[in-house]
Amino acid sequence: MSDSADDEPTMLGMDLPDAAPQPSSGPYRVLARKYRPQTFAELIGQDAMVRTLGNAIARDRLAHAFLMTGVRGVGKTSTARLIAKALNCIGPDGQGGPTIDPCGVCEPCRAITEGRHIDVIEMDAASNTGVDDVREIIEAVRYAAVSARYKIYIIDEVHMLSRNAFNALLKTLEEPPPHVKFLFATTEVNKVPVTVLSRCQRFDLRRITPDMLFAHFSAILQKEGVEAEAPAIWLIANAAEGSVRDGLSILDQAIAHADLDGGGKVSADQVRAMLGLSDRSSIAQLMATILEGDAGAAIDLARAQYALGIEPVAMVRGLMDLTHAVTLAKVSRHDDPALAEADRERIGEWAKKLGFAPLNRLWQLLLKGHDEVLRANNPLEHLEMLLLRVIYAASMPDPGELAKLLQSGGVPMAMAAMPAPTGGQGDTVSTITAAPPPVEAEVAAPARAEPPASALTVAQIHQLLESTGNHRLAVDVYDHMRIVELEPGSLVFAPVPALDGSFARDLGDALLTATGSRWHVRAGDGKARPSLKDVQDAKGADNDQRIRELPVVKAALAAFPDATLVEGDDTRHKSAP
């Protein structure tokens, strides 16, 4: 038996790893903190602000108060700290002055970066909202900086200060001592009093574009030694909604979510599952069933996605994104790098087939349905009802087509253009595929010649007059006009005393306005048909006679000789004498 220490583990039968794990150099720092910009060169997407500050420093035209505003995570507080470093940097040799490129190695720069500089005071206005908190600032600004060039107050979420606190700060903010600078940051600049805004130099930090976020996240992944698919990075960049901090938080989560069996590579499917986004191919299939009008298949697909854990509101959002993409593709403005080539081709085909009107109706239906599904107690049921509503109502004719229908007596173009598909149970539905012709045809349609006046009936003429507001003419047509001859564009009526000499001219003008075609209207001799009123009176008399022949009515009239027959709607107002 050997006394060697190296042999002892083997003798005990222990399997030790080849190399002991290296101790961690410190607690893990999330990416949003680890990669916080330390220079203006690292601040992405804010070139205009950096240029303005650089010029102000170079020309010694520094304002006494700066206000940074913008959405969350675009770098407002980071910018405030960078300005503090730029104003207090003394350079590596200790002889430097204010600069847009702080060195980062001098004591003021390192102290500000680490948050321990005595002359750079950061205050959270959300927890220091009162006059007493502002009074402390007012008292302290009278004293010069201890070790820095400027005493700087960074107040985050400044809009949370009370009105009295703002008023107490006004005088000091307007005329601060030359050694004091105020740096404000807020996400809700509309809540800051205008009296404060007028005393500050304002910088509106812009949202970061997905392209910039993609490049930024790709560089961070390379530094972290993590592989990721390009579509996965695009998904994270789009989900960040212009916020670097939000995007880095999602990226941190995606790295932790990556499958270790796959080498820790961040894949698009994993990111989509992590974010609760529905699969693009499934959404495309759902959209296809909607366009085909297959209600049963659409509901089956929605239930299958729900069973896989996809939230109904995510499916609606996916349909909205797809509708938006198709609409932009119609004007050649859709360019999503995260899309596969097959998805691009599918969107291009839909853009060619669908018109702007049905796409707009589809968008409006989905937009309204999104809020309903979001607030619903049972989101799946609301999603299914939304899909049925979209399939059955998306291609209803718009008001313009209805107006053409009233004028021409035809079928709306959108309804007649395409066959009606089935809804899965044998019933026919009118779907989004019944779209108007392409844009060129839609533009050219109004210019084509109107067809000759159709062979309208007297009843149709009466309805046209009523719909166009010619009530007096409509009454004359209904009560007194007896047709001798009625052909397309020509109308001959029997002269009666109730129709004056201007009736023919007025009726011709009214028909020209209603139909777009000129009509020749005149009085003439010949065998005339009865008026609409005569026909209605004859029908009423015939109905009255047939009713009187009924055995029950005969018995009632025999029992009550003085009784009379009245219309059903009049029974509430009349009674037999």
SS3 state of residue 340: coil
Whole-number pLDDT of residue 2: 42
Yes or no: say if 217 and 31 are a contact pair by the CB < 8 Å rule: no
Helix 379-393 crosses helix 280-292 at what angle (to 10 degrees)?
40
Yes or no: say if 168 and 198 are a contact pair by the CB < 8 Å rule: no
| Dihedral angle, C-alpha 373, 377, 380, 386, nearest 10 ° | -40
Nearest alpha carbon to residue 489 among 540, 454, 464: 454
Question: What's the CA gap between 396 and 394, in Å, rounded?
Answer: 6
pLDDT along the chain (577 residues), means of 10: 43 41 64 87 86 87 90 88 90 87 89 89 87 89 88 91 90 89 91 91 88 90 88 86 88 82 76 72 84 87 85 89 87 65 77 83 89 89 90 63 57 43 42 41 38 64 81 85 84 85 84 80 85 84 79 74 64 39
Question: What's the CA gap between 184 and 173, in Å, rounded?
Answer: 11
Structure tokens at 469: 């507001």
Residue type, 220: I
Question: What's the CA gap between 405 and 395, in Å, rounded?
Answer: 15
| This model's pTM is above 0.85 | no
Whole-number pLDDT of residue 536: 84
Nearest alpha carbon to residue 419 among 435, 437, 408, 403: 435
Whole-number pLDDT of residue 554: 74
Length of the chain: 577
Indicate the burial class of 142 (C-beta count within 10 angstroms; 0-12, 13-18, 19 or more): exposed
Nearest alpha carbon to residue 291 among 432, 137, 463: 432
Structure tokens at 95: 């002889």
- The DSSP code sequence of 90-154 is --TTS-----SS--S-SHHHHHHHTT--TTEEEEETTT--SHHHHHHHHHHTTSPPSSSSSEEEE
Q: Return the ∠ at Cα 412 (arms to 459 and 429), rounded to 5°.
A: 110
What's 235's DSSP letter?
Answer: H
How crowded is residue 475: how many other Cβ atoms within 10 Å of its Cβ?
14
Structure tokens at 87: 């104003």
SS3 state of residue 349: helix
Question: What's the CA gap between 544 and 539, in Å, rounded?
Answer: 8
- Within 13 Å and on the Cβ side, how many CA atoms surround 493? 27
Structure tokens at 400: 């313009």
Whole-number pLDDT of residue 480: 84
Indicate the burial class of 333 (C-beta count within 10 angstroms; 0-12, 13-18, 19 or more): exposed
* Buried/exposed code over 51-85 (b: 16+ C-beta within 10 A; e: otherwise): eebeebbeeeebebbbbbbbeebbbbbbbbbbbbb
SS3 state of residue 122: strand
User: Mind listing the pLDDT tens digit for each residue in 457-497?
Assistant: 888 888 888 877 788 888 888 888 888 888 888 888 888 88
104 phi-psi bin (left φ>0, alpha ψ -120 to 50, beta other): left
Strand 490-493 and strand 520-523: pairing?
parallel
Strand-pairing partners, residue 123, are 155
Strand 201-204 and strand 180-186: pairing?
unpaired
Residue type, 11: M
SS3 state of residue 136: helix
Question: What's the CA gap between 242 and 213, in Å, rounded?
Answer: 8
Yes or no: say if 424 and 296 are a contact pair by the CB < 8 Å rule: yes
Strand order in the sheet with 490-493: 483-487, 490-493, 520-523
Residue for token pair 């502002």:
134
Strand-pairing partners, residue 521, are 491
Question: What's the CA gap between 444 and 54, in Å, rounded?
Answer: 56
- The DSSP code sequence of 257-275 is HS-GGGTT-B-HHHHHHHH
